[in-house]
Amino acid sequence: MTTKTLLPKREKIKSTAEDFADVLFFAFRYALGRETFAPQLVVKLIIKNWAMFEKFETEAFVAEITRAVVDDKYGRIRQWLLWKKVLVLAKVSSEAIEIMEIKVLQNERKKNHV
């Protein structure tokens, strides 16, 4: 008897683009603030699938990243650079990104002087 005969047959997952967008947004919220490989993978998937997101979803990405910067919960500089790519995709003004970047640098300075 082989192992293959003991395993049940796998069925294809039945999902829609909307389901995937929802799961990717949940993954984004999980990754935001993490200092792991998660932000890199999630941002890569967001960029590859940007066209599937509705306007309200892209605005939610921007709002969540902005809140994370203000609350110092974006991770570290490495993660900020990833989240910044999402802001650029969402066409956030360069002035707004610059202001967030200043806040990130202030946050990092505090972290390094504690």
Residues 38-65 pLDDT 10s:
999 999 999 999 999 999 999 999 999 9
Residue 4's pLDDT band, with cuts at 50, 70 and 90, is: low
Q: Quote the pLDDT of residue 84.
A: 98
Residue 6's pLDDT band, with cuts at 50, 70 and 90, is: confident
Contact indicator for 78, 40 with CB cutoff of 8 Å? no
* Separation CA 29–CA 109 (nearest Å): 25
Query: Chain-wide mean pLDDT for the chain?
Result: 92
pTM (predicted TM-score): 0.84
* Separation CA 42–CA 65 (nearest Å): 13
**Domain limits, the chain:** 18-112
